[in-house]
Structure 1
């Protein structure tokens, strides 16, 4: 490794799911990045596997939804749904958990999204993102650790020293910005003095990754998870291919049990008890302890350093929110860094990252903790009373409400609801743009497919003045602005006629949407001075 100084616009520390995602989304915007990871390769452990619909929308926007769904685990588990409980896989079956405690992956979301859930193991999901990020120009250094970094003045950025863990050689890298994606024990967060607080530990678990032929015992059942309760093991069985590959989650007390005490022989005993097959041949592939906890960073930014993923928040697995929230952090940050680096936005735009993602992240941590404490009931028993503090999954996926300088109330805009969740966003500024089914040249298209690399102005065929104002404002500000006239001869068609009402405007209105698919501003109808109004809105949103 050369000791010469090199430059990268963005240095990313950590190549987990969040770090890989920010490299991918930056590369989409043609912004190079260098990702360094202290481990010598990607983790072979399956870990998380539930990719929620909003995260899949982002994979769709990056052009890799089909690649993710083509992975072995996604294909094998495409028909799996439901969470069950039993004495063991072969023992007395207690029933399915009441639907109030999980959103089944088979739920029809076609009215809300062009995509849906995907069950894909993280050890297969991460390589897909890595491959696409590399194709688009991201660079990766595995087996490399950050030794030190120093924030220079506003003009000089960050100087970092990296070390190859095998050779011991170092190199100095200059970056305009640094992204901390170095996990729940983030050394960068600690060095910056950023607090990390919350309810704390909610449980300790051990993941046993194993191979065993349980196809006959599983039979025709295709569940996501089965909780097992017997005298030997209290845990959860998760099929990885509905045949030979499995995960077993078991609870343990780290104050009384050393993780090293879970030898292959001990793990085999636990697996046999969970399966209910005393003589089962078991090959243990790995045993990994982990802590379920709820914590949030007190800041997501310090100067030119930004926290994403587990470095910014950790949460129990209840609801499958953790890794998906990190992917959305990365998506929110990437377009802002890109526009600032290109000179299309002022540095003030970056302030909106903390303002938008930190309240959302803290609230999702709270939701995950609430769900982890809410005792599940079986479907054939008395339903559990609704917990008024638990927010619907669809609201968490699609109903986040941002408040920042990158969101501007348009003319005659109604007051936004209190809190970070808007269960009926309806195209309000600060919320994800709604999905409406459109057509282009006879092919289906979602409104969400119109957003990814630039600001976009949506208008209807009767809003020529807004379309012209958009083109004039973009030229005046020197930015790229997509202008899409839905229903016009050159634009996509709206067969259902729903897009204006769904977005809260009339046929003469306009909606300004950010590259992350979030509504920045809207005008419900025409305006006497559209050029001035739209130029002001763009300048305000982009901190110009």
Structure 2
């Protein structure tokens, strides 16, 4: 066994979530090693919906503009909506018009009142190379063609065993291991962590093909077209709105041999409604539509993220986006612990905050998947009442933290229609002017704790500054009216503050503490950061909200 150099974090899996984890860690100054058994990235388009919250995170990581410049992102920028038709050339049978339809990727007004940026439709095989490039720029050691074969953990770290493409075995000593190695996660299986949920819903083939569908498309710009012709049912997805496409086809795994290139081409012609269509099949990939959540997201120094932690139907494009948010949540916490700013107990909050979100998201994805047959005149004329209406789904579940229970007035601890500044929730988005530029308040967050103060919030700012100095924690301060200037919006009202109040935001953009007015003399802020960062065994992470002015 060859000894490898120590690395703070090893990430098993070099797909979208693993690469995002490496990039986010790098942004926080933490080196990581990514081990991926495949020699390179998948060329298959696969997932393509990058939701608003994930785009916010990529914006912070500095890759939003590049992502929106990818070929598929530019080609699909105007696409929205889901339709059903006999075929692409045939009669339309219905369209998804319910209030939750924006989960299909329409960017329309996403950036207008809830977020700094909106949806982007960009295929995964274009997103992943961008993540790989930037993760490497931030110090990640990317080892493709290297398979994780096992690991052992102890009180001081994890010993990871790998095998490279040449068959050489290596032992890597790391402080923490992140399993982002997909639905069949070896990391999860070695931890003996089971999964719960409805299980397998269906099996599909993704048929990647090239054909000129300009004429039957008739200028339409949809996200997906369900085609129903006799017993043939499929989903047609544009890659460039012209001659690059994907076809989702249901199939039985024991009959996979029947899906020859010729048969797949025939299915494409049926879906297009053009009998003599010239079709080139470029690839076929199988996938399982299922709903499952791991019973635990962590065991000791090992964590699960992405498909290793949960699988869900692609309806709503929640799967990879939920994984990206997990990577972001985990990255700043690992960085805080590795940099000596937080106690190891902070890492326990990863599961407490993210697993309930994953459970709720899987439930919604499954409900949406089962709802889609209505497009073709299915048995139910109305959507399942358990489906959360838009924009609660598109924003509530991705912004709400499970760190805080529902308040005394009632409500769901995971779903909020609009951020209000309440601790435990993602901080509100408000357009402000800073250094002569219009920015979102969300652009203030990401690298450190940020204290947002009202224009008369000197007492609150001083109290938090003293607590930060005592704890040795860096806190950036932004004073309303001095450092940031509201534009057509009452910034204090949006955050639940009086002019003398203040609000503390975590590095991941979630509210950690709020005082609507000036802190009272009895308010104990001396141990605020010890509590937030779990610096002692008897100081679990908590958030606080002082509503009284």
TM over 0.5: yes
Q: Are 1:454 and 2:454 matched, yes or no?
A: no
Which secondary structure does the structure 1 equivalent of 2:424 belong to? Answer: coil
Classify the secondary structure of the residue corresponding to 1:323: helix
Q: How does 1:12-411 map to 2 (within 5 A)?
A: 12-100=11-99, 102-103=101-102, 105-109=106-110, 110-153=112-155, 156-165=156-165, 167-231=166-230, 233-255=232-254, 257=255, 259-378=256-375, 384-400=381-397, 401-404=400-403
Distance in structure 2 (CA, Å) of the matches to 1:42 and 1:200: 27
Alpha-carbon distance in 1 for matches of 2:307, 2:372: 26
Q: Where does residue 540 of structure 1 map in the other structure? A: 531
- CA–CA distance in structure 1, aligned partners of residues 405 and 311 of structure 2: 30
Cα RMSD after superposing both structures? 2.1
Where do residues 361-510 of structure 1 align in structure 2 (5 Å cutoff)? 361-378=358-375, 384-400=381-397, 401-404=400-403, 417-488=411-482, 491-510=483-502
Distance in 2, Cα, partners of 1:384 & 1:66:
41
Secondary structure class of the residue paired with 1:435? coil
**CA distance in 2: counterparts of 1:88 and 1:4, whole angstroms:** 58
- Judge which range, 369-378 or 20-29, deviates more: 369-378
CA shift, 1:441, in A, is: 2.9
Q: CA deviation at 1:219?
A: 2.9
TM-score (normalised: structure 1):
0.93
Of residues 503, 512, 523, the one that matches 2:515 is: 523
Note the C-alpha offset of 1:234: 0.8
For residue 434 of structure 1, give the secondary structure of its aligned residue in structure 2: coil
Kindly indicate whether the alpha-carbon contact (under 8 Å) linking 2:430 and 2:491 is maintained by their aligned counterparts in 1: yes
Distance 2:247 2:132 in 1: 27
Q: Deviations over 1:233-260 (max 9, x none)?
A: 31011110011110000111224x1x23
User: 1:436: how far off?
Assistant: 0.6
**Offset, 1:6:** 1.4
Question: In 2, Cα distance between the equivalents of 1:380 and 1:253?
Answer: 24
What is the distance in 1 between the residues matched to 2:380 and 2:372?
A: 11
The 1:499/1:96 distance shift into structure 2, 3 A limit, reads same
Residues 408, 537 of structure 1: 8 Å contact kept? no
Please give the alpha-carbon distance, in whole angstroms, between the structure 2 residues aligned to 1:514 and 1:73.
34
Q: Contact 2:100/2:388 (CA < 8 Å) preserved in 1?
A: no
Q: Name the CA distance, whole Å, in 2 between partners of 1:415 and 1:456.
A: 28
Quick one: structure 1 residues 470 and 270, their matched pair in 2 at CA, closer, same or farther if it must change by over 3 Å? same
Shift of 1:101: 5.2
SS at 2:3's partner residue?
coil
Q: CA deviation at 1:471?
A: 2.6
How far the C-alpha of 1:218 sits from its partner, in A, is 1.7
**Does the C-alpha gap of structure 1 residues 435 and 384 become closer, same or farther in structure 2, counting only changes over 3 Å?**
farther
For the Cα contact (< 8 Å) 2:87–2:272, is it kept in 1?
Answer: yes
**C-alpha spacing 1:275/1:408, structure 2 compared with 1 (3 Å):** closer
Deviations 1:126-167 (A, max 9, x none): 1111111111111100010011211022xx2001111102x1
**Cα distance in 2 between the residues matched to 1:393 and 1:160:** 43
Alpha carbons of structure 1 residues 7 and 397: separation in structure 2 relative to 1, 3 Å: farther
| Secondary structure, counterpart of 2:215 in structure 1 | helix
Q: Is the 8 A contact 2:77 2:120 kept in 1?
A: yes
Worse-matched range after superposition: 426-435 or 380-389: 380-389
Measured against aligned partners, the alpha-carbon deviations of 1:519-538 in whole angstroms (never above 9, x if no partner) come to: 111111002349x6333222
Q: Which runs of 5+ in 2 are unaligned?
A: 536-549
More deviation in 418-427 or 26-35? 418-427
CA displacement 1:284-325 (0-9 Å, x = unmatched): 111111110000000000000000000000001112111110
Measured after TM superposition, the shift of residue 106 of structure 1 is: 4.0
> How far apart, CA to CA, are the structure 1 residues paired with 2:310 and 2:345?
24
Question: Any conservation in 2 of the 1:232–1:270 contact (CA below 8 Å)?
Answer: no
